[in-house]
């Protein structure tokens, strides 16, 4: 357990009679690229919500390194390096990309409570924000209002906001949701290029992308973890085939 | 706007340009001096407008920048007014310390209630602020021994400012005093919205759900801006008490909370000048129309309000800024 950056123990959550997380046990080692896959309704987003504190588990524990963060507020988990993005764009429509990411940088650096000094005096924050945007190919769009950005660029801005918090663990909820297949490869190349110090877990439905970018895969079905392993192990696992191919037969 | 896309200028230069004083701003602050020369008989009205504008500015800080709708903001205005009035009766009539007392007391109530306000949004929040407003009004009404209740607070007597500038009958000193306080508070508010804190407030307004995911403590931000806003509202109330040398229940009633919201929405929330412009329009309209028919003067205000929210989302300043943006994009 001590080698895992993020781990859960016996995590349970139900909405009424619907069990959305059933005894979830995972441990993510440093620097690994995890894909979290499974059919719709398997509880993938719920698991991210539980780990980031947006939902409270009925029972079980969540650890960031050795620290028990089960009862920590979401923003305090972010301050400790556990950060997420959203499946549906959760951005600041009337702020431009630079302002949005500068906001995130200022929050991390502890500038945000300061109201008596002008923002332009924090040149370091603005420059860091610009560098993050530039690294995600958003440098040329950084002065455009978020709502005017193309959808694919908004997906990148989702990630830029998260990167500005300097995460140790990054949970990406369908980062390429709604992005055309041609563009999603570029988006995942950007994710693959992130620092190897960052542990990444991403939810994704496109199996080409999953097998190309993940170093390990977790398969969830009906609120449970079905199997966890390397892409080769997952590809050869008969239970996984059953879930996906079996589902296709019935559909 | 469209001309500045691309990394043509450095990031911090862009932020600098955002907070630079514009020509229209300087023109506005020069224009507010005009009443001294053009309408010397209306300086008392001008003073009331400046005070109301300051009150609207305080509401803009929470509504326009943090998305907190309040229907009870008169609680802080009225508390400031009563504090300044009572201070002059029982302590002394020196105006600046009286204004400070108004600010401190209103700010303290703002801080105390901010812990409730920061926990809620939407309709719940509106009802909470409304309820707090009613509560304070009732306290002022029933504490007759202190506030004079429905008769109003009598016996307020304010010394000359710095022991020299006497409050004259024409409102010369009153307008100068109100205007200077308005301008100082405006400078503070302007610095605040252009600070890292101001940026975080805009984040809360734009998407409160994203803020915790960036590690932001939104509630702490909201508590802080609510306290600052209450303090400024209290200063505005204190100014009214000092310049009119009386305090009535009207300074703390629901009508005042509603009026200031109408002014801000008319002028445009989130532009810093929206409340100022709205206060000028509202107060001048009231002065003019109530001269014609004192009963029906809300009729044109109602028509204007409906028209503005239907056709000019973002108020008059929102409409103007869109208009200039289209002009600019056509010319470049």
**Which residues of chain B neighbour A95 with C-beta distances below 8 Å?**
199, 202-203, 206
What pLDDT does A182 receive?
82
What pLDDT does B332 receive?
65
Find the mean pLDDT for residues B38-59.
96
What pLDDT does B3 receive?
39
B331 — pLDDT class (breaks 50, 70, 90): confident
- Nearest-angstrom CA–CA distance, A141 and B7: 8
What pLDDT does A118 receive?
94
Is 0.90 exceeded by the ipTM? Answer: yes
What letter does residue A69 receive in the DSSP assignment? -
What pLDDT does B91 receive?
94
Mean pLDDT, consecutive 10-residue segments, chain A of 251 residues? Answer: 83 93 94 93 94 96 95 96 95 96 97 94 95 92 94 94 96 91 85 91 92 94 93 92 66 35
What pLDDT does A242 receive?
86
- Nearest-angstrom CA–CA distance, A152 and A236: 33
Write out residues 152-171 of A within 8 Å (CB-CB) of B: 161-162, 164-165
**Hey, which bits of chain A come out as E strands?**
4-15, 18-29, 33-37, 59-64, 67-68, 82-85, 169-173, 199-203, 216-221, 224-229
CA closest to B6 among chain A residues? A140
Find the mean pLDDT for residues B15-42.
94
B5 — pLDDT class (breaks 50, 70, 90): very low
- Nearest-angstrom CA–CA distance, B127 and B69: 10
Burial degree of B154 (CB within 10 A; 0-12, 13-18, 19+): exposed
Calculate what percentage of chain B has a pLDDT beyond 70.
97
β-pair type (A33-37, A82-85) = unpaired
> Considering CB atoms only, which of A107, A119, A129 is closest to B214?
A107
Tell which wins on pLDDT, B50 or A39: B50
3-state DSSP assignment of residue A38: coil
First to last CA, chain B: 10
Chain-chain contact of A75 with B212 (C-beta, under 8 angstroms):
yes
Please answer whether residues A245 and A39 qualify as being in contact, where contact means their C-beta atoms are separated by less than 8 angstroms.
no
> Considering CB atoms only, which of B12, B209, B228 is closest to A127?
B12
* Secondary structure (DSSP) of A173-219: ESTTTT--HHHHHHHHHHHHTS-TTSEEEEE---HHHHHHH-SEEEE
Chain-chain contact of B206 with A142 (C-beta, under 8 angstroms):
no
Q: Which of B11, B65, B191 to mutate to test the interface with A (most CBs of A within 10 A)?
A: B11
Annotate A176-208 with b (16+ C-beta within 10 A) or e (fewer). bbebeeebbbebbebbeebeeebbbbbbbeeee
pLDDT digits (tens, 9 = 90+) for B91-148: 999 999 999 999 999 999 999 999 999 999 889 999 999 999 999 999 999 999 999 9
Please answer whether residues B272 and B99 qualify as being in contact, where contact means their C-beta atoms are separated by less than 8 angstroms.
no
**Which residues of chain B neighbour A142 with C-beta distances below 8 Å?**
7, 11
What pLDDT does B2 receive?
39
- Nearest-angstrom CA–CA distance, A250 and B252: 67
What pLDDT does A246 receive?
66
CA closest to B192 among chain A residues? A115
C-alpha distances out from residue B55 to B80, B255, B259, B313, Å? 11, 14, 11, 22
């Amino acid at each position: 357990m001590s080698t895992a950056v993020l781990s859960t123990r016996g995590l349970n959550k139900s909405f009424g009679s619907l069990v959305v997380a059933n005894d979830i046990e995972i441990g993510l080692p440093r620097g690994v690229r995890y894909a979290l896959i499974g059919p719709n309704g398997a509880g993938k987003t719920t698991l991210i919500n539980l780990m980031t504190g947006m939902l409270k588990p009925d029972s079980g524990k969540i650890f960031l390194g050795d620290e028990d963060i089960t009862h920590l507020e979401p923003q305090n988990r972010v301050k400790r390096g556990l950060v997420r993005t959203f499946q549906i764009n959760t951005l600041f429509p009337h702020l431009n990309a630079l302002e949005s990411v500068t906001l995130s940088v200022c929050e991390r650096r502890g500038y945000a409570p300061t109201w008596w000094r002008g923002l332009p005096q924090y040149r370091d924050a603005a420059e860091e924000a610009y560098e993050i945007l530039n690294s995600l190919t958003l440098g040329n769009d950084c002065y455009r209002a978020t709502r005017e950005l193309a959808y694919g660029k908004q997906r990148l801005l989702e990630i830029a906001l998260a990167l500005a918090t300097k995460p140790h663990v990054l949970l990406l909820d369908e980062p390429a949701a709604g992005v055309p297949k041609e563009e999603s490869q570029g988006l995942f190349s950007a994710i693959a290029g992130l620092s190897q110090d960052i542990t990444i877990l991403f939810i994704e439905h496109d199996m080409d992308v999953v097998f190309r970018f993940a170093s390990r895969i977790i398969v969830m079905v009906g609120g449970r973890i079905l199997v966890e392993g390397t892409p080769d192990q997952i590809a050869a696992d008969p239970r996984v085939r059953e879930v996906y191919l079996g589902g296709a037969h019935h559909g | 706007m469209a001309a500045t896309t691309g990394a043509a200028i450095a990031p911090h230069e862009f932020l600098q340009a955002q907070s630079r004083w514009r020509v229209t701003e300087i023109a506005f602050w020069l224009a507010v001096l005009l009443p001294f020369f053009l309408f010397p008989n209306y300086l008392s009205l001008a003073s009331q407008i400046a005070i109301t504008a300051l009150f609207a500015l305080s509401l803009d800080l929470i509504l326009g920048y943090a998305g907190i709708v309040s229907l009870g903001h008169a609680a802080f205005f009225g508390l400031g007014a009563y504090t300044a009035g009572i201070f002059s009766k029982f302590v002394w009539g020196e105006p600046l310390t009286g204004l400070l007392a108004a600010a401190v007391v209103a700010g303290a109530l703002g801080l105390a209630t901010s812990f409730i306000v920061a926990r809620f949004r939407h309709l719940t929040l509106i009802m909470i602020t409304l309820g707090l407003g009613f509560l304070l009004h009732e306290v002022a009404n029933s504490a007759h021994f202190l506030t004079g209740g429905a008769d109003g607070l009598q016996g307020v007597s304010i010394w000359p400012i710095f022991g020299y500038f006497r409050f004259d009958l024409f409102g010369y000193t009153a307008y100068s005093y109100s205007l200077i306080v308005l301008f100082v508070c405006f400078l503070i508010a302007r610095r605040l919205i252009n600070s890292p804190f101001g940026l975080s407030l805009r984040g809360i307004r734009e998407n409160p759900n994203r803020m915790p995911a960036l590690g932001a403590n939104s509630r702490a931000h909201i508590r802080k801006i609510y306290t600052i806003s209450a303090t400024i509202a209290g200063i505005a109330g204190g100014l009214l008490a000092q310049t009119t040398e009386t305090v009535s229940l009207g300074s703390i009633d629901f009508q005042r909370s509603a009026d200031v919201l109408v002014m801000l929405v008319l002028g445009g929330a989130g532009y810093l000048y929206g409340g100022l412009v709205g206060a000028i329009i509202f107060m001048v309209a009231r002065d003019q129309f109530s001269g014609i028919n004192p009963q029906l003067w809300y009729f044109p205000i109602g028509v204007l309000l409906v028209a503005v929210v239907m056709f000019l989302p973002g108020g008059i300043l929102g409409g103007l800024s869109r208009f200039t943006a289209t002009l600019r994009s056509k010319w470049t």
